């Protein structure tokens, strides 16, 4: 959770005031000042969030109130307020997981939980022991280690519930990331400089060729000539594998999708099978877009099978009609499309003519084109001729519609980046792309990527500046060191790339094996153990595993305590037991001398042995110098003492 700069300054200022008070430099504020501080906190909260009740506003208010609580701690003896702050600190740590369960965040939360536990232990000890850091660290570490097996058992056997464990209302001000459901000139190119990860892919099948690595996202059919939007999404009435024809080259893979705050799921064209417990109520729309019922507010994982060779027939005539609509602007584009429609009889010839138009005319591929607002297609095709993928895709679709060919814009991602350390693939926001689809009779919907027609000589340098070599380790912020040789720079780059990929592999492994341990993975794990995957089995495993762990820990505890007990005390207690069994009645208050006198009277035949035992015991307990030989003699004599019960 991020908060505004002014709220952060307020929190730091209050904590600094509390810190100065703990050093004896300043006094705590009185009630009137504390009242005004509360008013300032509320003003800052309302100025950022208004009067909207949301998750972020609630947590920010909680943090502000907790911060002000520090100003009520009078001294280290004020344990009530200290304990209250510590326990509320535990709660704040948990709230971080409402938005993310990232590996680094989890590690950060674990460290903070450990620190809070140290503070809790320190304030529960005597004041003179409050700084016994080594002892406290050892004790808390032991508690964490003992809790670890129980956490693993709960993780493995606690019944998994499909979908998120809880859901909260979305914040109205929350940012949506990545591909949008709208496109306008410049909207896709804004993502190209971002090395933020969109999703990760684990291929089960061989990786498809680069010309088939199109990750389908929102399909945009409606336009006013400038802005492209989606039409209303309706689910297909039939499964997609019953609609597609001439399907071949299936690819199986798993996608780990980062939170987008959007509803669409990305997949290789075209997905025919999807599964995953973290997705809820997904459907494939009539424009072949994979859509989730709820927004993707947390990292999710789903498994797919896509056919990378296929034919898509028309879903219905109304769909074709909707993709022929032309806006009331861009007249030059309309005229050119109509001219081609008169010139060529075959639709394929018109498509080829448009692609050759981009290839042969002086079009340039750049992510920093001139601004085009009034009639962007006309300006791009006949004047500027410099644009990014959204310019080429949108103008191509308008040309096709003008020529009487149903067409639409498809947005998503193109390409992948391999993580050599973890042997999986990454799709970044810099892979964002837009392409077109056209409808040809007897051939169905065909993918057409007009940007692929631009020769390398007309691709401007700013496109090459956004490359994977830079993005692979840009998060490390490695400086440019001109004094290094070319070989040293290469080695530094390789080291940065390796470290970056290793860190990302740790995150991916965490996502895959921990966050991705859903109901399906749990069932597979139980099958490996030869067990059925049902609630009854899980409950039995949960109870039995935690019970066995508790018994093991109890046994270890008893064994350690047994080793800590003085063997002389154990042997002395055995002596008392022998005397009791032989007819004597010994009370807890009886001392060794009293017991000795009564024992000699009761067992005169064992006078020498009893005399030796009690002399050795008194020497061990009250002597100034005791040798191990004396202890061993005492243990031996007690062990071999054989009393007969007196009649």
pLDDT (tens digit per residue) in 282-326: 888 888 899 988 888 888 889 999 998 888 886 678 888 889 999
Domain borders along the chain are 5-157, 182-471, 476-511, 567-640
Strand 386-387 with 444-448, pairing: unpaired
608-617: long-range contacts, CB 8 A cutoff, minimum separation 24? 609/637, 609/641, 610/641, 612/637, 613/575, 613/637, 613/638, 613/641, 617/568, 617/572, 617/592
225-267 pLDDT, tens digit each: 889 999 888 888 888 888 888 888 899 999 999 888 888 899 9
* CB 312, CB 221: distance < 8 Å: no
Backbone angles phi, psi at 361, to 5 degrees: -80, 160
Residue 474 pLDDT grade (very low, low, confident, very high; cuts 50, 70, 90): very low
Q: Could you give the CA distance from residue 600 to residue 612 in angstroms, rounded to a whole number? A: 12
Token pair 């692979």: residue: 472
Tokens standing for residue 481: 């060191």
User: What does the alpha-carbon distance between residue 496 and residue 490 come to, in Å, rounded to a whole number?
Assistant: 10
pLDDT score of 464 more than 60:
no
Mind listing the pLDDT tens digit for each residue in 326-339? 998 899 999 999 99
Residue 435: strand, helix, or coil: strand
Beta carbons within 8 Å of 546's beta carbon, 6+ residues apart: 150, 153, 154
Burial class from Cβ neighbours inside 10 Å (0-12, 13-18, 19+) for residue 147 reads exposed
Task: Give percent above pLDDT 70 in the chain.
Answer: 89
Torsion-angle region of 530 (φ positive above 0: left; ψ -120 to 50: alpha; else: beta) = left
Is residue 422 within 8 A of residue 501, CB to CB? The reply is: yes
- Calpha distance 337→556 (Å, rounded): 83
Which residue, among 175, 169, 172, 168, has the nearest Cα to 51 in the 3D structure? 172
How many CA atoms lie within 13 Å of 153's alpha carbon, on the beta-carbon side? 17
Predicted pLDDT at 563: 58
Instruction: State the Rg of the chain over Cα.
Output: 37
Q: Are 572 and 586 in contact (CB under 8 A)?
A: no
CA atoms within 13 A on the CB side of 454: 22
Residue 476: pLDDT band (50, 70, 90) is: very low
Q: Which of 69-73, 268-272, 275-279, 369-373 has the lowest mean pLDDT?
A: 275-279
User: What would the mean pLDDT of 529-558 be, rounded to a whole number?
Assistant: 86
Cα distance between residue 265 and residue 536, in whole Å: 34
Q: Is 445 exposed, middle or buried (0-12, 13-18, 19+ CB in 10 A)?
A: buried
pLDDT band at 470 (very low <50, low <70, confident <90, very high): very low
Q: Which residue has the higher pLDDT, 124 or 2?
A: 124
The pairing of beta strand 386-387 with beta strand 364-365:
parallel
Q: Is the pLDDT of residue 101 over 90?
A: no
Instruction: Give the mean pLDDT of 375-383.
Output: 90
Any idea which residue has 């100065």 for tokens? 20
**Which range, 32-46, 74-88, 448-462, has the best average confidence (pLDDT)?**
32-46
The total of other beta-carbon atoms located within 10 Å of residue 586's CB is 15
Q: Are 297 and 261 in contact (CB under 8 A)?
A: yes
Cβ atoms of residues 32 and 38 within 8 Å? no
Quick check: 284 and 237 in contact, CB under 8 A?
A: no
Q: Counting Cβ atoms within 10 Å, is residue 635 exposed (0-12), middle (13-18) or buried (19+)?
A: middle
pLDDT at 536 over 80: yes
| Residue among 198, 181, 202 nearest 257 (CA) | 198
- Pick the range with the lowest mean pLDDT from 115-124, 297-306, 464-473, 609-618: 464-473
Burial (CB < 10 A; 0-12, 13-18, 19+), residue 75, is: exposed
Residue 326 · residue 335 · CB < 8 Å: no
Q: Which two tokens stand for residue 276?
A: 């995953």
Maximum pairwise Cα distance, the chain? 133
> Tokens at residue 376, please?
């962007």
What per-residue confidence (pLDDT) applies to 113? 94
SS3 per-residue string spanning 72-96 = HCCCCCCHHHHHHHHHHHHHHHHHH
> Nearest 5°: phi and psi at 407?
-150, 160
Both tokens assigned to 228: 């492209």
Residue among 411, 445, 183 nearest 319 (CA): 445
Strand ranges inside 178-221, DSSP E: 182-183, 197-203, 214-220
Distances from the Cα of 199 to the Cα of 195, 254, 499, angstroms: 12, 10, 20
Q: What is the pLDDT of residue 336?
A: 94
Give the H or E element holding residue 409: strand 407-414
Rounded to whole angstroms, the Cα distance separating 340 from 336 reads 6
Q: How would DSSP label each residue in 460-513?
A: -HHHHHS-HHHHTTGGGTPPP-TTS-HHHHHHHHHHHHHHHHHHHHHHHHHIII
């Amino acid at each position: 959770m991020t908060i505004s700069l002014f709220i952060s300054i307020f929190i730091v200022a209050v904590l600094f005031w509390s810190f100065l008070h703990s050093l004896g430099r300043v006094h705590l504020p009185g009630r009137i000042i504390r009242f005004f501080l509360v008013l300032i906190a509320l003003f800052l909260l309302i100025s950022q969030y208004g009067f909207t009740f949301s998750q972020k506003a609630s947590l920010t208010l909680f943090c502000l109130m907790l911060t002000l609580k520090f100003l009520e701690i009078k001294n280290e003896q004020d344990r009530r307020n200290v304990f209250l702050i510590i326990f509320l600190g535990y709660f704040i740590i948990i709230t971080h997981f409402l938005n993310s369960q990232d590996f680094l965040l989890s590690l950060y939360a674990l460290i903070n939980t450990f620190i809070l536990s140290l503070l809790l232990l320190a304030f529960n000890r005597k004041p003179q022991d409050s700084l016994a850091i080594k002892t406290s660290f050892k004790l808390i570490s032991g508690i964490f280690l003992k809790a670890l097996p129980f956490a693993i058992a709960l993780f493995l056997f606690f019944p998994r519930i499909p979908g998120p464990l809880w859901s909260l209302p979305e914040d109205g001000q929350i940012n949506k990331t990545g591909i949008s459901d709208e496109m306008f000139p410049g909207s896709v190119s804004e993502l190209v400089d971002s090395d933020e990860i969109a999703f990760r892919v684990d291929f089960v099948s061989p990786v498809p060729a680069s010309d088939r690595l199109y990750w389908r996202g929102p399909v945009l059919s409606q336009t006013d000539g400038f802005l492209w939007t989606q039409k209303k999404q309706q689910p297909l009435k039939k499964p997609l594998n019953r609609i597609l024809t001439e399907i071949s080259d299936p690819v199986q893979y798993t996608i780990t999708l980062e939170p987008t705050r959007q509803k669409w799921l990305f997949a290789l064209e075209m997905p025919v099978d999807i599964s995953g417990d973290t997705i809820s109520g997904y459907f494939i729309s009539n424009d072949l877009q994979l859509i989730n019922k709820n927004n993707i507010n947390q990292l999710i994982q789903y498994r797919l099978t896509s056919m990378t060779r296929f034919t898509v027939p028309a879903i219905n005539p109304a769909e074709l009609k909707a993709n022929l609509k032309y806006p009331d602007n861009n007249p030059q584009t309309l005229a050119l499309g109509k001219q081609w429609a008169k010139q060529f009889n075959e639709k394929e010839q018109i498509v080829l003519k448009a692609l050759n138009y981009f290839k042969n005319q002086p079009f340039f591929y750049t992510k920093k084109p001139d601004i085009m607002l009034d009639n962007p297609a006309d300006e791009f095709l006949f004047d500027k001729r410099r644009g990014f993928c959204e310019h080429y895709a949108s103008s191509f679709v308008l040309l096709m519609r003008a020529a009487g060919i149903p067409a639409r814009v498809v947005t998503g991602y193109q390409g992948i980046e391999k993580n050599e350390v973890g042997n999986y693939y990454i799709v970044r926001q810099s892979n964002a792309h837009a392409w077109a689809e056209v409808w040809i009779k007897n051939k169905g919907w065909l993918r057409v990527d007009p940007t692929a027609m631009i020769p390398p000589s007309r691709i401007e340098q700013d496109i090459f500046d956004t490359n994977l070599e830079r993005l692979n380790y840009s998060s490390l912020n490695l400086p440019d060191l001109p004094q290094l040789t070319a070989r040293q720079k290469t080695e530094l780059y390789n080291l940065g790339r390796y470290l970056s990929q290793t860190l990302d592999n740790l995150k991916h492994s965490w996502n895959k094996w921990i966050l991705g341990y859903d109901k399906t993975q749990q069932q597979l794990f139980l099958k490996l153990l030869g067990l059925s995957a049902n609630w009854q089995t899980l409950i039995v495993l949960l109870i039995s595993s935690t019970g066995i762990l508790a018994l093991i820990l109890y046994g270890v505890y008893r064994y350690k305590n047994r080793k800590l007990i003085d063997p002389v005390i154990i042997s002395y207690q055995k002596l008392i037991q022998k005397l009791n069994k032989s007819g004597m009645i010994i009370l807890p208050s009886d001392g060794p001398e009293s017991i000795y006198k009564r024992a000699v009277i009761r067992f005169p035949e064992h006078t020498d042995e009893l005399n030796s035992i009690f002399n050795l015991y008194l020497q061990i307990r009250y002597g100034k110098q005791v040798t191990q030989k004396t202890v061993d003699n005492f243990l031996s004599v007690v062990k071999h003492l054989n009393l007969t019960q007196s009649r």
